[in-house]
Amino acid sequence: MATVKEFRNNVRPNWCPGCGDFAVQASMQRALGNLNLEPENVALISGIGCSGRISGYLNVYGFHGVHGRSLPIAQGVKLANRNLTVLASGGDGDGFGIGLGHFMHAVRRNMDITYVVMDNQIYGLTKGQHSPTSAFGFKAKTTPAGNIENAVSPLQIALSAGITYLAQGFSSDVNQLTELIQGGIEHKGFSLINVFSPCVTYNKVNTYEWFKEHTVSLDQFPDYDPTNRAAAIAKVMETDGLCTGLIFKDDKKPVFEDLLQNYPQEAYLNTKLEMDQGLFDELMKEFA
């Protein structure tokens, strides 16, 4: 039975010292270890950006895809082998910029995948341009006079599109983040764990201190019901999206895989690739 240690490898992350992504990596490893999963039964698909490196830093099957396309690849992996625990990851630019369309469709499709987004409100890999989640007025290299676009709200989009597990964590709280990722993996359906993961090099506004001052934990609201979608939308709007914890969960909606007609319970990987000789001969006649 695997432990947290077995989800670590010898690859040293090239993230900047103090980057919030280190805590995301540690939380994912802890969540997988806590669930007693085996590394050979887990696949992690990532996109492009600093966050995209994470698929090489965990001792599981990893695939570093193209920009904004981690979710289509992850869905393909899940369809090919439904027995795998499939995670996808990326940053706010990757997931909510070029990948926003894929995100919407993944949410409404509700495949059994866990999506972890490292949201730092800036493009760090390309040295500091504003991102889809940068606030109005945010100054960056591409917006020296201040951002004139409204920020994308991934929480509101996810809730409106019908997500069945939605949580938000903060890199400074590894225990809560581990618990949220673990819950997302255990949930049967599509789950998003959006993580406030500060970029210490290029974002001097949304720092660790800023998030500690501005975020509020849903644990402070004992009457909050995470199974009530309308209440979740109201709470996200009330807190301007700066809440952490389990925001919404729906265990009743069927997953995409179970609705597919003639979709085998056995992974295609284990399907015998044999063909009846008569059928083979008929097919060959078409190429004669």
pTM beyond 0.75, yes or no: yes
Domain containing residue 62: 4-286
In whole angstroms, give the CA distance from residue 9 to residue 172. 23
SS3 55: helix
For 191, the token pair is 């789950």
| Burial classification of residue 267, based on how many CB atoms lie within 10 Å of its CB (0-12 exposed, 13-18 middle, 19 or more buried) | middle
pLDDT of residue 138: 95
Q: What element of type H or E holds 113?
A: strand 113-119
pLDDT of residue 67: 94
- Each of the 288 residues of the chain gets a pLDDT tens digit; together they read 788 999 999 999 999 999 999 999 999 999 999 999 999 999 999 999 999 999 999 999 999 999 999 999 999 999 999 999 999 999 999 999 999 999 999 999 999 999 999 999 999 999 999 999 999 999 999 999 999 999 999 999 999 999 999 999 999 999 999 999 999 999 999 999 999 999 999 999 999 999 999 999 999 999 999 999 999 999 999 999 999 999 999 999 999 999 999 888 888 777 777 888 999 899 999 988
Under a CB-based contact definition with an 8 Å cutoff, are residues 30 and 201 in contact? no
Residue 73's nearest CA partner among 97, 46, 54 is 46
pLDDT of residue 206: 97
pLDDT of residue 180: 98
Q: CA 214 from chain center: how many Å? A: 23
For 134, the token pair is 């940068």
Q: CA 224 from chain center: how many Å? A: 24
Q: Side-chain half-sphere of 113: how many Cα atoms within 13 Å?
A: 32
Q: What is the CATH number of the domain that holds 195?
A: 3.40.50.970
Residues β-bridged to residue 169: 195
In whole angstroms, give the CA distance from residue 119 to residue 154. 10
Domain total of the chain: 1
For 41, the token pair is 């039964």
pLDDT of residue 255: 97
pLDDT of residue 272: 75
**Residues constituting the chain:** 288
